[in-house]
Structure 1
């Protein structure tokens, strides 16, 4: 690959990682602020469910972007067996987190009918 393409992909990976981290941070802050205001209106016990759903969405979105960045980096720059193992581990962890969040939010596994 040419130097320009490599530089562009490397920049893209860094941007996607930064956006993923920003989504995690700002999403956590927004969900927490929303929880505080909602708990003042309806009580803390009722606001917890909404808070947990908000955090779940943020975590899934942020993790998706971080996995995308890792996939690009692994395939493009460092296609070693060690990096591939790390990528597989990240995808497995993300999948397990996604399933457990879906279970918690919907009281059923993603593959079960509602």
Structure 2
């Protein structure tokens, strides 16, 4: 019995650490993108200058979503109920779809930058 309680506590701590890591990644990406956006808005005021910023933010978001999904998987690692498995499946599907469309948009934006000869971040 002691082993199960300790394992549950350890996994709960890991879940919190991984969730926090994902949140920090997303927050860092938002701060960096906002700073780059402010500089680009003052210097150039051209919409083309915002595309590399969006790509950079998209990469942070994609990585942060992966961390969040990992924490959800960890959360159900110890004796999951059928309800928890269903919730994980729904969350995984939503996050996977978000990541898919985000990755697709990043790929399209990168291709557009390549066509224009603009530097890719």
TM-score (norm 1): 0.80
In 1, the alpha carbon distance for the partners of 2:6 and 2:104 equals 44
Query: Do the aligned partners of 2:18 and 2:71 also contact (CA within 8 Å) in 1?
Result: yes
TM-score, normalised relative to structure 2: 0.76
Mark the structure with the bigger radius of gyration: 2
Given that 1:35 and 1:50 are in contact with CA atoms closer than 8 Å, whether structure 2 keeps it comes out as: no
Aligned to 2:118: none
Which residue of structure 2 aligns with residue 67 of structure 1? 69
Structure 1 residue 56: deviation in Å? 1.1
Larger relative contact order, structure 1 or 2 (CA cutoff 8 Å, min sep 6): 2
* Runs of 4+, deviation exceeding 6 Å: none
What is the aligned-residue RMSD (CA, Å)? Answer: 2.0
How many pairs align? 107
In the alignment, structure 1 segments of 5+ residues that lack a partner are 109-114
Name structure 2 gaps, 5 residues minimum.
110-121
Instruction: Report SS of the residue matched to 2:76.
Output: helix
